[in-house]
A and B are shown apart, each in its own frame.
Chain A
């Protein structure tokens, strides 16, 4: 209850956490060796690094699968031991986790791609990462919406609803008017509207914010489901037949081998996402506005005393954040499949929320966490496409299990803005 309490406050933070991290890394190394190494078939795994028909063709990398898994697993174990013995530092923490995860994924792919089921299809790293970014767009924008709200002291669980209403509105507007850009704007405004409603109920009427978010999600799911059955299904041609944004290759940058197709050859949504990440990160941490927002989120009374408009900042952030999430929702329809279907946000908003907490309420951290979730999603669909003999349902669980582990342990102490979730009443 106190301002100093943290999400992880009740565990005695001790050397234990360090050893748990080290043990987890060693365990990952053992899995690399004992499962992916021992059970992988003889032969080379090939990692393709360019798309077919690219201007500059990067040669495909071929590595003997078994040996690769052994080496990477051994390296992971060494990193784990180093993590347990060396002094703690933020850089070591991040680098060690990143390396162990990367090694794990590479060994997993080595095992999966040399199996009899894979038919020698190479692992196309470029496609995998393209899919990662595409899957991450709604997650990143949703997590940024969460950051905007919570940095100003309002918990936003309604990200899910913002995505869904954004997707719905974008599909309808783009089909009915026939202009994709209007769909984009409509989706964004719809998300902003949810943010405004959230603001009115949370700020003006003091409704518990977590409960409010969940209720808004239920409400929006019901409303879009109702209108879908009532209007969209009978008039699919008029209301639910939007086209999608085509890809826009950035001249020059888009032709760089490997990096070009991954980062600079996508729809407008990806570029808007880049802009949003930079804007929110710089805005929150390097501008006068950001300082005010953080003051409102940490100590609204003090902020009010020096003349900052607490409620105005909160409304503004909820609406702007909602607009970002609405764009993320629009991506689901006019950015990828075109048509709306019931409950199509399918929990992405909740994952975005987890990404924001995982990323410690910072835009960059949230983005990295969202990319991690996006990557597990893309990896899962790749493994499904080469018919790996692991159930797709088990693969689909991975991001959620990872989130629980992360929230419960690996991240360590995380602290929300002090006034997060507390309505502000002037004394």
Chain B
């Protein structure tokens, strides 16, 4: 509900409204920037007062520490050592340390950078391999950016979109059908599919917005129910030969989409960046413009901050809800399109994975702002990619990534807790821009 309190509204660059630069705009008492010395003081102030960026970093740190404790104390060798803790405390602590260090370094190597690839490159290996983890992280982040943007946009208009999963499925269904059922020339097919995905998701978003505008049905309930309806709808369509099922198959899976409909990659064999990633970044930029620079975006933010004031100012609150949910649904549908066209190539009954719910955490961590969402999605993409590598290397289950993600968002949502734990001074600022309204609106 609280707009970013960063003082002057002259946020001409997108970064100006993001947590990353929040350090330059601490509490209201922050002195104006005055040369290097002023900047120094500002940074110190923002740290001691707990600006949004600092709170976010501390939240990530705290979540990683708790994740480490969970990894250590669910390791059977570590537990075994701790049985004789008083006899040999060193052995127990070192076993715990090793379990955690192995897991986290595997996570890091899988997500960002593996030192072995550098030495391999010096000995005639592939230089591209150095960038493979990063490209994988970007690929994992792509659908998350879009579902995150979807949830974030709805948040800004005062709506809680738990239905990104259903909208993702709506988009994916349309894309898959257009992808294998229609035959079009190369570039046009890709574009038609992307637009189809947007429309598929937008329809589901529109249902939610329209029901809320007309009957007052709370969007949280409607989106949750639509999620389950769409899970079943997807399975039904994938199990029906006349619909999406692959001919001659009894599995719940669709045929591959046509080559013309697939999103190409930039940069040849892996490592590579999918065009889908660029689509997601473009969507983030477009959404930033929409929210911060357009009249519609102003209405969204006003309705989100204070519907009564928006009504008094002559804005149509119901119309804004419908439009916001329509666009939010469309972006989540686009996420389905990008995932199908760029990664999966076919649709099965579990394709939707956790994109929808991860979109919520991404949007919360990104404080419902486009650049923040992109950064948060990259972080979660890294945790997911690294988690998979970690599971393969150390048999620590990848679900720990989900735990860490949940903890990060929990702490980011509770800046007071972070301030209390780390003895930061200020008691305001750095909270959630995203608020969901209770049942009574």
Contacts and interface: CB of A to CB of B under 8 A. Distances in A.
Interface of A: 1, 3, 5-11, 150, 155, 157, 201, 204-212, 214-216, 218-219, 221-223, 225-231, 234, 347, 350, 353-354, 357, 391, 393-394, 396-397, 400-401, 403-404, 407-409, 415-416, 418, 420-422
B402 A221 contact: yes
B236 A393 contact: yes
28 contacts: A10-B212, A10-B215, A11-B214, A11-B215, A155-B438, A157-B220, A201-B417, A207-B414, A208-B413, A210-B160, A211-B432, A212-B413, A215-B360, A218-B405, A218-B406, A218-B409, A219-B403, A222-B400, A223-B70, A226-B402, A347-B227, A347-B228, A354-B224, A397-B232, A397-B233, A408-B217, A421-B437, A421-B439
Contacts of B160: 210-211
Interface in B355-401: 357, 360-361, 364, 396-397, 399-401
B432 A6 contact: no
A130 to B, nearest CB: 24
A214 B360 contact: yes
Contacts of B401: 222
Contacts of A354: 221, 224-225
Specify which of A5, A204, A230 lies most central, judged by the most chain B CB atoms within 10 Å of its CB: A230
Interface string B215-238: 111101110111111001101100
A335 to B, nearest CB: 23
Given A394-B236, A420-B438, A210 B220 contact: yes
Given A214-B162, A216-B410, A409-B215, A421 B438 contact: yes
A408 B211 contact: yes
Contacts of B280: none
Contact of A5 (B70, B397, B440): B440
A226 B413 contact: no
A347 B229 CA distance: 12
A91 B211 CA distance: 27
Contact of B216 (A1, A9, A204, A207): A9
Given A207-B414, A218-B402, A393-B239, A8 B215 contact: yes
B217, B222, B307, B407 interface centre (most CB from chain A within 10 Å): B217
Contact of B364 (A211, A230, A347): A211
Given A6-B216, A219-B410, A397 B229 contact: yes
A155 B360 contact: no
A423 to B, nearest CB: 11
Q: Which 4 A-B pairs have the closest CB atoms?
A: A421-B438, A222-B402, A219-B406, A229-B397
Given A7-B216, A357-B439, A215 B221 contact: no
A229 B399 contact: yes
Nearest to B358: A218
B13 to A, nearest CB: 28
A406 B269 CA distance: 52
A208 B438 CA distance: 9
A205 B74 contact: no
A222 B410 contact: no
B11 interface: no
B410 A407 contact: no
Contacts of B361: 215, 218
Contact of A10 (B213, B409, B413): B213
Contacts of A150: 439
B435 interface: yes
A10 B224 contact: no
Interface in B183-226: 211-218, 220-222, 224-226
A229 B401 CA distance: 13
Contact of B438 (A353, A397, A416): A416
Contact of B439 (A205, A206, A225, A420): A420
B440 A6 contact: yes
B226 A226 contact: no
A209 B217 CA distance: 19
B157 interface: no
Given A219-B403, A226-B399, A229-B399, A155 B217 contact: no
Contact of A218 (B76, B211, B357): B357
A9 B307 CA distance: 14
Contacts of B213: 10
A64 B229 CA distance: 34
Given A10-B216, A408-B217, A416-B440, A393 B74 contact: no
A400 B364 contact: no
B391 to A, nearest CB: 8
Given A214-B162, A394-B236, 10 more contacts: A10-B214, A201-B413, A214-B357, A219-B403, A222-B406, A223-B406, A225-B397, A227-B74, A397-B229, A421-B437
Interface centre among B212, B232, B417 (most CB of A within 10 A): B232
B347 interface: no
B228 A404 contact: no
Contact of B307 (A1, A212, A409): A1
B316 to A, nearest CB: 12
B144 interface: no
B14 interface: no
Contact of B410 (A1, A215, A416): A215
Nearest to A416: B439
Contacts of B438: 155, 209-210, 416, 420-422
Nearest to B401: A222
A376 to B, nearest CB: 12
A201 B432 CA distance: 13
A381 B228 CA distance: 17
B396 A230 contact: yes
B436 interface: yes
Nearest to A225: B399
B151 to A, nearest CB: 10
Contacts of A415: 440
B432 A208 contact: yes
B441 interface: yes
B172 interface: no
Contacts of A394: 232, 236
Contacts of A3: 440
Contacts of A416: 438-440
Given A10-B318, A397-B228, A208 B436 contact: yes
Contacts of B307: 1
Contacts of A10: 212-216, 318, 441
Given A205-B414, A407-B221, A7 B399 contact: no
B434 interface: yes
B82 to A, nearest CB: 15
Nearest to B222: A404
A353 B397 CA distance: 31
Contacts of B308: 1
A415 to B, nearest CB: 7
A100 B438 CA distance: 33
A280 B188 CA distance: 61
